[in-house]
Amino acid sequence: MSSTPTAGARPDEVRRHNRTALLRRLHVVGPCTRAALATELGLNRSTIKALVDGLAESGVVEERVPRARSGAGRPSLLVLPQPLAAVVLAVDIRVEQVAIALVGLGGQLLGRDSWNLRGRAGEPAEIITRIIESTRLLTEELGVQVVGAGVSVPGVVRRGDGYVHEAPNLKWTDVPLGDRLTGAFGVPVRVANDAEIAALAEHLRGAARGSLDAVYVSADIGVGGGVISDGTTLRGTAGYVGELGHIVVNPDGRACYCGSHGCWETEVGELALCRALDLPEHSPRGIVVAELRALSTDPDRVAATLGDFTRWLTLGLITIVNVFGPELVVLGDLFTALPPALVTDVAAAIAERSLVSRAIGGTRVVTSTMGADVKLIGAAELAFEPVLDLV
């Protein structure tokens, strides 16, 4: 609940609010009858009819007789979002690869492209040019125009204008990414931290669907987290929220580039995993994953090899659970390859040692099942947020 004075609302804003709510429902959850829309949105049937008629007229939705009929009487028409009515660009910038996708209303992936950065990272201008070029090719190929864009960056991003303050693992500092892409595409562009974007994806279409309080944490070179609090993605005003990788878990730990010692990132990130597994730092991801998989079959070796890693993973998660009180923790990216027994142990430790977890009746810990596209999917949803108001 807001605790500050808020602005008033005018009737035209109410109509727009209702239209956006309806469109959002169709976009996120899928086709739905008018009757169900009325119930779910708490609006009367004539309001729903007016909204759906308006949307159908402008081609944003289509109405169809549902295939399977149940009960007697006239069937309630099914309202379907039309993918081509609003297409957004989703961009996932990673340390080793950039992926782009065009995503239609309703979440359908219409086309994609990606390229490796290996050995060429650190050149924002080059990456931005390539994103713009690849998007042009893809939109021409599909004969569509994008109405918005969402971009995932592994760094500290300012919400208002998509300014990348620092993306250390990309070696980016002070990159006006949002402004550059807005200038090129002429549509609203939103840029956010990759973990926040993954949390959004998990919340709308993944393991955290329906969760009101959930935390997504993931590791590759960096460690990050995104927080769903009371049903909403948590972002500070400036957009710098949830740098969970810089929770200090080990006061006597390794120096972190941020100025602290023993940040969660330095103790449980991909480099820490490489060291624990006796692999060279920056070993290829496939080798790290293969080592973790091999370990999984041997519980004694898990404890011997990943004992310290497990300790720091657990301490960071206990702090996170006590701070945010999530009913669910979703482990993503490299963490999805952790031995299942290790994840079970971590969950048990949280149950024993977190006051808040006990108070809320327990915190489930699961690994993400959304696969490698989670950040593309989240970036598309970020792009759709302002767009659904305008379609």
**Token pair of 57, please?**
């007229």
* 359 residue type, one letter: A
Q: Looking only at residues 371 through 390 of this chain, which bind a second copy when binding is defined by CB under 8 A?
A: 381, 385
Report the alpha-carbon distance of residue 124 to residue 170 in Å, rounded.
Answer: 9
Residue placing its CB nearer to a second copy in the complex, 250 or 368: 250
Partner residues linked to 115 by β-bridges: 98
Site string (5-24) toward a second copy, x via CB under 8 A: xxxxxxx--x--xx--xx-x
Q: Looking only at residues 68 through 87 of this chain, which bind a second copy when binding is defined by CB under 8 A?
A: none
Site string (280-319) toward a second copy, x via CB under 8 A: -------------------------------x---x--xx
Residue placing its CB nearer to a second copy in the complex, 138 or 150: 150
249 binds a second copy (CB under 8 A): yes
Q: Which stretch binds a second copy (CB under 8 A): 126-134, 138-146, 275-283, 322-330?
A: 322-330
Report the alpha-carbon distance of residue 277 to residue 280 in Å, rounded.
Answer: 9
Q: Do 284 and 329 touch, CB atoms closer than 8 A?
A: no
Pairing of strands 87-93, 146-153: parallel
Provide the CB-side half-sphere exposure for 188 (13 A, CA). Answer: 20
Residue placing its CB nearer to a second copy in the complex, 113 or 308: 308
> Of residues 106, 242, 269, 332, which one binds a second copy by CB under 8 A?
242
> Of residues 258, 279, 303, 366, which one binds a second copy by CB under 8 A?
258
Residue placing its CB nearer to a second copy in the complex, 40 or 113: 40
Which residue carries 């993306």 as its tokens? 167
- CB atoms < 10 A from the CB of 46, how many? 9
> Of residues 73, 143, 251, 371, which one binds a second copy by CB under 8 A?
251
Which residue carries 């340390």 as its tokens? 95
Report the alpha-carbon distance of residue 55 to residue 19 in Å, rounded.
Answer: 9
CB of 280 to a second copy, least distance (A): 27
